[in-house]
Amino acid sequence: MLYLDRPAWPWRGRLWSHLISDVSYAELHAFAETLGAPRRGFDRDHYDIPADRFAAAVWLGAQVVPSRELVRLLRSSGLRRPKHLVNPRPPTPR
């Protein structure tokens, strides 16, 4: 299943939503491609979707949920990839 939160995240003068899958990254990438979202919109475990594509994502079948529910769904699916685990910082030289 695909899930989307409401466009509430400001960046570069626009509002953005987060699109996730609780099934697989393959499902997420396929849906994003159908939506016309560029691959550069993929950030670790979700796509950033501009507000002007929100209605199309819902029309294509994404279920709208609150942001906290989005995170809960990602964690329970095992697809959550926190930033600190994906891009670990190198040790600080002393």
* pLDDT 10s digits, 4-32: 999 998 988 999 999 999 999 999 999 99
Q: Residues 85-94: what's their mean pLDDT? A: 55
pLDDT confidence of 62, banded at 50, 70, 90? very high
Number of H helices, E strands in the chain: 4, 6
In this prediction, residues 51-60 reach a mean pLDDT of: 97
Please tell me the total number of residues recorded for the chain in this structure: 94
pLDDT of residue 93: 60
Determine contact, residues 14/50, Cβ cutoff 8 Å.
yes
Higher pLDDT, 34 or 94: 34
